[in-house]
Amino acid sequence: MRKRSRWLWVCALVAYAFLYLPLIIVVVYSFNDSRLNAEWVGFTLDWYRKLFANDEMLLAAGNSLFIALVASVVSTILGTMAGMAMHRYRLRLLPILVLTPIAIPEILMGVSLLIFFVMLNFTLGLVSVALAHISFCIGFVAIVVRARLSGMDETLVEAARDCGASPLQAFAHVTLPLIMPGVIAGALMAFTLSIDDFVITFFTAGAGTVTLPLQIYSMIKIAVTPEVNAVSTLLMLLTLLLIVIASKVSPSLLRSD
Amino acid sequence: MKKLAIALLALAALPAFAKDQLHLYNWNNYIAPETVKRFEDFCKCEVVQTYYSDNEELLAKLAAGAKGYDVLVPTGNAVQALIRGSQLKPVDKKELPNLKNVDPVYLNTPFDPGNQYSAPYAMSTTILGYNEEKMKELGLPTDTWAVIFDPKYLAKVKGRVTVLDSPDELFAAALKYLGYSANDTDEKHWKEVVELIKKAKPYWAAFNASSYIKELTVGNIWLVHGYSNDIFQANQDAQAAGRKFHILQGMPKEGAVLAVDSMVIHKAAPRSDLAHKFINFMLDGRNSADLTNLIGSGNPNLDAQKYIKPELKANPAIFPPKDVQAKLEQLQDLKPAQRRLRSRLWTEIKAGK
């Protein structure tokens, strides 16, 4: 028994190291006093200073955040509705329509969305990117919400209805609180998917619309500077903050219940 | 009444605060920030830049119908592709008096005969980059492709050499070394190239087109086949990091690939008036020289020469002497059948032992 748990620890440590070491290195090198991410030279906050003076990078980060927020909020609402519908009714078409965008290769979706926007004479910009992101995020939210719904005790809703709640009240006071962990998990997923998406964003962004992934990718040619590490560190902090908030709002999100 | 007129005039003047915008679709770090600022002051407008990192990205996006861009800065063969796809608006040469500043050698190319659509912006070459101290220590030449293809030399730097992970560029270098044109498409010559590369490959550390700048700067790699701008960048980084060695550019005497990026106007440009103003502005010597001083790019502008830092002007890789210049070639697009054959040979090279 002791031996087995020791092995478990080793496996867990290796897995965590694999997941987190690269992230830690990114953070550490954001404080490195050298343009090259090759070796440790000395501690500095210069890259953060440079980052906050770099309008282009900040604009890109701001755009990314804006798009991710809009995309996650809208796709969470629509995705929850889709998840409910797929759970409640025996629909043939809806699951296919909702889930296909998850399976379609991103490049295909990017190109087809671009052609679609061009056909509609829709000006490419923040709005087109946000719409594109919403369209591929809905499916992910719907899956998570439906999974949560299938584990829910249906009699609770019936009981609420018997006690005189309207369908809307039953949803607001019974269903929603119960599926909240799924909704929040879906929203977080949509947020992260949106904020780091490159391919679809590349095709649907218009002249002058730059998001963080687009900005970083275009810098690869001239070698990525530690400013990228600095902005990544801030993003990680933000993500961490979001998860902490989510776990405060819905403690069962991070625990099995 | 008069007061009212004045008030109305003032109101009419208000929208002037919403500045005119020029949308530039460019490579990252491919225009000096001070040049952008100077242009914005000059045209009383705002320059909004979006970036691509590959000509194919630009072509794909425009082919799908994206618009909103005024000026693009593609490389020679991409200019040709854009012209073929009728994506460009002809330039009005009356609006571009500064075109006279450009070295005639770079005008009227096969990519855009008569420069109906394009004006040269900046250029780079695909050459050798090397660690000066190590090459001296090993007694290796740095002015010939032999040093990356001939096992006689390679034996001394085994595992310290990288070549570009690009069939276009590597075939061109090998063809040049063998004495052919970089655009040679003779199958027999291509087979010779494959043999040559297969013999040299065991000595190479990697096919690398992205991180070789850093590898050079750190000192892991001593010799590369790479882009002149990148090698220039590697040395700047190395000096800034206080390295004890220098990264230099070596122009092979057999000649090399030249890539000229040109400014063109998209057919759906919302502000072709500003686009012309911008192109003419960038053809001014002082503005053109800013970029060369920033990233060590080649400069096709004769008027720019007097503004370029002397150490850059003395660099034969950036400003090749006349006899080498004659041996530089711009890559042309392959026909589909040739491209298929070359992909097959490339796979053979990369998969083979």
What pLDDT shows up at residue A250? Answer: 67
**Looking at chain B, which residue has its C-alpha nearest residue A213?**
B51
Shortest CA gap B189–chain A (Å)? 31
Q: Does one domain contain both B143 and B227?
A: yes
Residue B224, pLDDT above cutoff 60 = yes
Shortest CA gap A107–chain B (Å)? 11
**Euclidean distance between the first and the last CA atom of chain B, given in angstroms as a whole number:** 90
Cα distance between residue A70 and residue A76, in whole Å: 10
- Which residues pair with residue B162 across a beta bridge? B206, B224
What pLDDT shows up at residue B29? Answer: 87
- Which residues pair with residue B260 across a beta bridge? B123
Angle (nearest 5°) at CA A130 between A129 and A134: 120
Q: Does one domain contain both B52 and B101?
A: yes
Q: Does one domain contain both B113 and B129?
A: no
User: What is the dihedral angle through the alpha carbons of B285, B291, B297, B303, rounded to the nearest 10 degrees?
Assistant: 0
Mean pLDDT for the stretch of residues B79-90: 93
**Is residue B5 assigned to a domain?**
no
Interface of A with B (CB under 8 A): 34-39, 41, 56, 111, 114-115, 118-119, 123-124, 202-203, 205-210, 214-215, 217-223
In order along its 257 residues, chain A shows pLDDT tens digits of 566 788 999 999 999 999 999 999 989 989 988 777 667 878 889 889 988 988 888 899 999 999 999 999 999 999 999 999 999 888 889 889 888 888 899 989 999 999 999 999 888 889 999 999 999 999 999 999 999 999 888 899 999 999 999 999 999 999 999 998 899 889 988 998 999 899 999 999 988 889 999 988 887 666 677 888 898 899 889 888 888 887 777 666 655 54
Whether B14 has its CB under 8 Å from any CB of chain A: the answer is: no
Of A36, A208, A209, the CB nearest to B214: A36
- Which residues pair with residue B226 across a beta bridge? B127
Q: Does one domain contain both B337 and B241?
A: yes
**Is residue B52 assigned to a domain?**
yes
Q: Does one domain contain both B111 and B217?
A: no
Shortest CA gap B1–chain A (Å)? 42
> For residue A44, which residues of chain B lie inside 8 Å, CB to CB?
none
Structure tokens at B46: 């705002």
DSSP B326: T
What pLDDT shows up at residue B240? Answer: 81
**Is residue B2 assigned to a domain?**
no
Mean pLDDT for the stretch of residues B171-187: 94
Domain range for B229:
124-257+331-351
Residue B10, pLDDT above cutoff 60 = no
**Is residue B326 assigned to a domain?**
no
- Of A88, A67, A200, the closest CA to residue A142 belongs to A88
Of B25, B213, B218, the CB nearest to A207: B25
Predicted-assembly ipTM surpassing the 0.85 threshold: no
Q: Does one domain contain both B29 and B144?
A: no
> For residue A215, which residues of chain B lie inside 8 Å, CB to CB?
51
Of A37, A114, A218, the CB nearest to B65: A114
Burial category of A122 from C-beta neighbours within 10 Å (exposed 0-12, middle 13-18, buried 19 and up) = middle
Q: How many domains does chain B have?
A: 2
Cα distance between residue A111 and residue B347, in whole Å: 28
> For residue A56, which residues of chain B lie inside 8 Å, CB to CB?
49
Burial category of B151 from C-beta neighbours within 10 Å (exposed 0-12, middle 13-18, buried 19 and up) = exposed
Q: Does one domain contain both B137 and B243?
A: yes
Q: Does one domain contain both B210 and B313?
A: no
Kindly give the residue spans of alpha helices, DSSP state H, lying in chain B. Answer: 2-13, 33-43, 55-63, 76-84, 132-138, 146-149, 151-154, 167-177, 187-200, 212-218, 228-240, 272-282, 285-295, 310-313, 322-325, 336-351
The winner for highest mean pLDDT among A53-67, B182-196, B208-222 is B182-196
CATH class of A56-253: mainly alpha
**Is residue B4 assigned to a domain?**
no
What pLDDT shows up at residue A2? Answer: 63
**Is residue B155 assigned to a domain?**
yes
Task: Report CB contact under 8 Å: B237, A35.
Answer: yes
Domain extent listing, chain A: 56-253
Q: Does one domain contain both B253 and B272?
A: no
> For residue A207, which residues of chain B lie inside 8 Å, CB to CB?
23, 25, 48, 50, 66-70
**Is residue B169 assigned to a domain?**
yes
- Chains A–B, number of C-beta pairs less than 8 Å apart: 88
Contact B327, B254 (CB under 8 A): yes
Cα distance between residue A95 and residue A84, in whole Å: 11
Of A38, A215, A217, the CB nearest to B214: A38
What pLDDT shows up at residue B346? Answer: 94
Q: What is the CATH number of the domain that holds B189?
A: 3.40.190.10
Q: Does one domain contain both B41 and B78?
A: yes
Contact B316, B324 (CB under 8 A): yes
Q: Does one domain contain both B116 and B50?
A: yes
Task: Report CB contact under 8 Å: A219, B28.
Answer: yes
**Is residue B190 assigned to a domain?**
yes
Task: Report CB contact under 8 Å: B51, A215.
Answer: yes
Shortest CA gap B219–chain A (Å)? 10
**Looking at chain B, which residue has its C-alpha nearest residue A203?**
B61
Q: Does one domain contain both B212 and B299?
A: no
